[in-house]
Each structure stands twice: as C-alpha cells, then as structure tokens.
Amino acid sequence: MDSTCNRSGVRRRGPRWSTLSWCAMLAFTISACGSSKTEPSVKSEGPSSAKGGAPSSTGTDAGSLGEWQTLLTGDWSINPGEESYTCVRKTLAEDTYIRGVQAINPVGTHHTFLGMGDPTGPDGVESCAVTTVGSITIFGSGVGTNPVEFPTGVGMKLPAGTQLLLNLHLFNTGTEVLSGTSGTKVMPIDPAEIAKVGESLPAVDLDFSIPPREMYSTVGSVAMDKDTTIFAVLPHMHQLGIHMKVTASSSVDGDRVLHDAAYDFDSQLYYAVDPIRMATGDQVQFECTWNNTRDKTIVFGQSSLDEMCAVGIYRYYPAP
C-alpha cells in the first residue's frame, strides 16, 4: 500500500487487516528488551481517557478477593552479551480459577509469555525457541508490564491436566553472568463467582517498512470472532516507537478511542478502558508511530533493533 504524508509531516500507511493468535505472534514477537522493572497495579476509576486511560487493574482492590499466589517459576542463568529463550512447563493437578495475572520479571527478563494446552514435554525448565508456546493464551508481558486484574465476575479456568508453558526471553546486556527466577503470579477466584469468561486476544501488523531518518505511521486491524466486551489493552512496539492509538469500531456502542498516548518502551503497560461491547465482525484498529533515528530501513522482527506494531486486547464474554 502506498504511503502518504499527513499535515504533521509523518509518513503514514493506511490500515491493513492483521490478526494472529498470541502463539503465532510469539513465533516472531514479543521481544521486549531493556532494563526490566515492575510497575504497581493501579485501580481504574470511572471511564478511561482517550489520552490513554489508567494502567489496568480493572476489578476491585488487590487482595479483596484473595492474595496473589505464585503459579509457576523457573530459574535461569545467562552469560554476558547473550540472548536466549527458556521454557518452564507445569501440569496442573486440579482445576484452577483466576481473576488476575502478573509477571515475575527480574532484570534480564525481557518478556514473559504464558500459555496452556496439551502436554508437549516433561515438566521442568529447559532451553527453547521463541516459537515454543502454548496453544491457548493466558498472559503476555513486556518490560515493566503491570498486573492485570479482571472486572468483577470475570475469570479464567485453567483445567486440571492442562500443561502450563511459560516462555521467557532473556537478554544479558551486562559484563557479568546474570541469574534470576522469573514466572507468573495469579489472583484466585471462587468459580461460583464467575459469570463471564476472560481471555487475551492479540493483534499484530507484520508488513511495514520504516524509512531511515523519518517519522512513520502504520495502521493494522483485527476483527472480533465473537460477541465480546473489551476491558483493557496493551500497546507494544520496540525502541523506536513513540505513539500508539487504538480505536474500537463497535456496532453496539459506537466508535471509541481506547488508547491515544505516547509510547515508552521501558514501561509497557496494560491500560484499563471503559468496557465496550463488540459484535462479531466489529474491528479494532491500532496505529503505530515510530521515529526512525537510524540510517537504515527498519522492518518487523523479534530483535529490539527491529520493530513491531502490536496490541494485546483483554476481553470477556458470558460464561457457558
């Protein structure tokens, strides 16, 4: 698609249809690189702002329905200057019900990605590839990602016999061996309180080319595969990303800007949004803007020296 220039001088490409599962997305993405830090969970009060909303903690206060509990962890060690992937597998002995998720991501952990599915190997910790992921998405995090708490009455079921698969992207930018323990915590919920099923839906634009020494924007989109309600979004780009705008086109509640704010690679947050109902086929568009300060064209890739244009969408629908 041809590029055009808007009045601000930003070269801009029109929307493209782009939707992948988090699993397919992880075959290429989320490689969040930089110093890892943890942001506090912030409760959302009232409707979110089109400037970006509040960092997501969209239910009641943390701890009011239970305390955070460690779901699984993996120990790792990585040599100076190395980049690698480590996977942690854990098969659940009983049904587990959750209403919140957060990453355990000490320095050196540049993303955590938690999925689940049928067992694909023995439980434990081993080296793996970026493509080693579960078939069903639970949670993805980048640098500084905050906890996600679901709205009241929304929960996820992690069935007994299912194998959790945690993929850790590790990168040691220092001069000494780096070791740590990374993982995932969850907030339990009584299954009797679950009226709606929560889940994560990712969207990613794979096809863009950012010219050297230019500002550039591109727009991707994802269609809803079922009637659903969106309650949080996670913008994701790499080091050249400067702005993300996410817009929902709802045939039920009308068009609404869910997020429109500057992007900070070192603080990749989930943002709560005032819940918006989406019918099957309704679209979410996401516009990424970069400032390419380098002397070469930048394209999509998993390295932090490449770029991405993606948004994670948290949504819910009535429990069966």
Q: Where are the domains of the chain?
A: 3-318
Residue 259 clears pLDDT 80, i.e. is over it: yes
Residues 25, 202 contacting (CB under 8 angstroms): yes
Residue 233: pLDDT band with limits 50, 70, 90: very high
Instruction: Evaluate whether the domain defined by 3-318 bears CATH number 3.30.300.30.
Output: no
Which of 251, 310, 256 lies closest to 19 in space, CA to CA?
310
- Residue 107 has a pLDDT of 87
Locate 127 and state its tokens. 């080296």
pLDDT(133) > 80: yes
Read off the pLDDT of residues 153-192 as tens digits, 9 standing for 90 and up: 999 999 999 999 999 989 888 899 999 999 999 999 999 9
Predicted local distance difference test score (pLDDT) of residue 144: 81
DSSP reduced 3-state for 192: helix
Q: Check whether 280 has a pLDDT greater than 70.
A: yes
3-state secondary structure of 261: strand
Q: Output the pLDDT for position 11.
A: 61
Give the amino acid at 103: A
